[in-house]
Amino acid sequence: MKRLLLTTAICATLPFAAQADEFLVRADVTEATVFLGGVTEIVREVSLTVPQGDHDVLLALPSGVQLQRADIAGTGPVTLGSYSVETAHPIEEGALDGPDVAAARARVEDLEDRVDAVNARIAEAGAAVQAAALQRAYLQSVTAGGDNAAPFPTEPELLGQMLTTLGTQMANVAEAARLAEEEQTALREELAEVNTDLNAARTALNELYPFGTSVTVMRVPVSAEAEADVTLTLSHFSTAATWSPVYTLRLDSTAEELAVERAVTLQLTGNERWHDVGVSVSTADPGRERAPSDLSPQPARIHPPETEESRGVGFGIVQLGNGNAGGFNTTLARPSPAPAADMAPVEVQAVGASLTYRLPGAVTITPRDSSRQPLDTLSFDVDLTNRAVPRHDATAFLVAEVENDSGEALLSGNAAFYRDGELLGEAQLGFLADGAETDLAFGALDHLQLDWRDLSRDEGQTGIFTSADTQVRAVEFSVENTSDEAEEVRLLYAVPFAEQEELELDLDLSVTPDARDVDGQRGVHAWELTLEPGETRTIRMDVEFSWPEGEVLDWRP
Single out the residue of 269, 328, 319, 330 nearest to residue 293, CA to CA: 319
Cα separation of 410 and 436, whole Å? 10
Instruction: Enter the pTM of the model.
Output: 0.70
Amino acid 557: pLDDT:
82
Sequence ranges of the domains in the chain: 101-207, 381-557
Residues in the chain with pLDDT values less than 50: 1-20, 310-343, 352, 459-467
User: pLDDT of 222-249, one tens digit each?
Assistant: 999 999 999 999 999 999 999 999 999 9
The pairing of beta strand 241-252 with beta strand 413-419: parallel
Cα separation of 115 and 121, whole Å? 10
Query: Is the distance from CB of 58 to CB of 25 less than 8 angstroms?
Result: yes
| Beta strand residue intervals within 404-462, DSSP E | 413-419, 422-429, 437-454
3-state secondary structure of 162: helix
| Residues whose CB falls within 8 Å of the CB of residue 247, separated by 6 or more in sequence, listed in order | 260, 261, 262, 263, 410, 413, 414, 415, 416, 429
Amino acid 543: pLDDT:
92
Total residues found in the chain within this entry: 557
Query: Is the distance from CB of 491 to CB of 481 less than 8 angstroms?
Result: no
Amino acid 556: pLDDT:
82
Amino acid 550: pLDDT:
81
The pairing of beta strand 370-388 with beta strand 40-50: unpaired
Single out the residue of 280, 223, 236 nearest to residue 81, CA to CA: 223
